[in-house]
Amino acid sequence: MPNETFKDVINGPVPVLVDFFATWCGPCKMMVPILQQLRGQMKDAVRILKMDVDANPVVAQAFKIQGVPTLILFYKGQIIWRASGVIQAAELKNIIEAKVQMQ
């Protein structure tokens, strides 16, 4: 949506998976096809955002990102899950579905 801020997106009604990454990070590059696969599987059931920690240091600091890739799942403005490292699409799908159901 035009003029949507990061805060608008994470406070929306759809779960949002944010991939905090860096362009120089090898494991971060491995997440690209995984997230594309996840998007294909989940369609509009989840929004997937990529956040470059070097280009957005204030946001990275606000969420205490210490290593990349770090994935944070937001639902209705709340962090309901976070992890660092490469996680496969099937596992991410299961985590998102389980965590959202618990809310």
The CATH fold assigned to 17-102 is Glutaredoxin (3.40.30)
Active site positions, annotated: 25, 28
CB 79 within 8 A of CB 73: yes
d(CA 65, CA 44) in angstroms, rounded, equals 26
pTM (whole model) above 0.85? yes
| pLDDT tens track for 76-99 | 999 999 999 999 999 999 999 999
| pLDDT tens track for 31-83 | 999 999 999 999 999 999 999 999 999 999 999 999 999 999 999 999 999 99
Mean pLDDT of 3-21: 93
Q: Enumerate the domain spans of the chain.
A: 17-102
CB 65 within 8 A of CB 19: no
